[in-house]
Amino acid sequence: MAASCVLLHTGQKMPLIGLGTWKSDPGQVKAAIMYALSVGYRHIDCAAIYGNEAEIGEALKENVGPGKVVLREELFVTSKLWNTKHHPKDVEPALRKTLADLQLEYLDLYLMHWPYAFERGDNPFPKNADGTIRYDSTHYKETWKALEALVAKGLVRALGLSNFSSRQIDDVLSVASVRPAVLQVECHPYLAQKELIAHCQARGLEVTAYSPLGSSDRAWRDPDEPVLLEEPVVLALAEKWQVQRKVICIPKSITPSRILQNVQVFDFTFSPDEMKQLDALNKNWQYIVPMLTVDGKRVREMQGTLCTPLMIHTETTTSWFPSSSSTTRSCHPQKGVNKAIRAATKKKKKKKICIHSFIDGSLHSLHSRKPTF
């Protein structure tokens, strides 16, 4: 698959199609990895928070190495640092846990999963007695400097970011001695991310698209949202569109036939007119996006207000994730929360507000009483 790679600024070749492992259930992901390697996949995307790295490691141990399906140097493995491990003292132990689970000596790429830190510890979603998430004051720039030490030790070949905005990327670049090589964000024909991709490419970052078909199976799905797979042109061609734009794509599947289909996107090329037709599907629609409902009215666009995975509602449950828009501000989580609450409750000071968090498919109640300012 040498011809189907992008060249990172580190000199590494990163395959344009990889196997995503988010939402791959325990007991199924090992078989999916083994089949994917057998049909030519050379890029596996993992994360500690997915809870399946140990099972992925079993597949890698059985299939990677001399005399096996693939040599280690032919395989590109990505993993991600979770929010509770942002403190500089926790970064290397977190990586070593991932390496032990994956049964690898090094990672090809290690991403900071989100740009904010939760309270340190082994609970992935630490909460107060009232249900609010417990944050940590560690800034992602401090975390980045700790990540750089992993490269110096040979534990990681390249570093990157996930779910960061343009401004946050530039924040990291302002302190980086090891420059990020990749940004991973939600990206699909309904969310083309042209501005963000251009921002990254101008700074030497490649872009990886997660949820390349819109993540319609997530738990918090809005019943009224557009379903990407209902577009006939997208069903068969979305991944090829990403690849032809030189955007790395990591579709998740545990079904052998779909795994095989996903890696066969290099067998044809779109004409310029066909690319324009796909580009025209863009709706700037984020499936993993800040959502605000006040008095039954849903508001999708709150970029510039929050950088935390929060949503506010007064009547119905909706989701709120940090936007990857270039206008998203770099801010402390609680300050962003308070600002959003004040905006949502202006002229309605007595209305009860509920805040919830959706992280990687899990719902966590953060606040269920009147806010105090």
Question: Dihedral (C-alpha) 144, 147, 151, 156: value to the nearest 10 degrees?
Answer: -120
Contact of 279 with 301, CB cutoff 8 Å: no
DSSP 81-117: E-GGG-SHHHHHHHHHHHHHHHT-S-BSEEEE-SSS-
Residue 26, number of CB atoms within 10 A of its CB: 11
Residue 313, number of CB atoms within 10 A of its CB: 20
Contact of 318 with 311, CB cutoff 8 Å: yes
Please report which residue ranges of the chain form alpha helices under DSSP H: 29-38, 53-63, 88-102, 140-152, 166-175, 194-202, 232-244, 256-263, 272-279, 333-344
Active site residue 50: yes
Residue 217, number of CB atoms within 10 A of its CB: 11
> Catalytic: which of 41, 50, 110, 140?
50
Dist. CA 329–CA 340, nearest whole Å: 13
Residue 224, number of CB atoms within 10 A of its CB: 6
What order do you get walking across the sheet with 109-112 strand by strand?
19-20, 43-45, 76-81, 109-112, 159-162, 182-186, 206-210, 248-249
Q: Tokens for 249, please give them.
A: 């794509």
Catalytic residues: 50
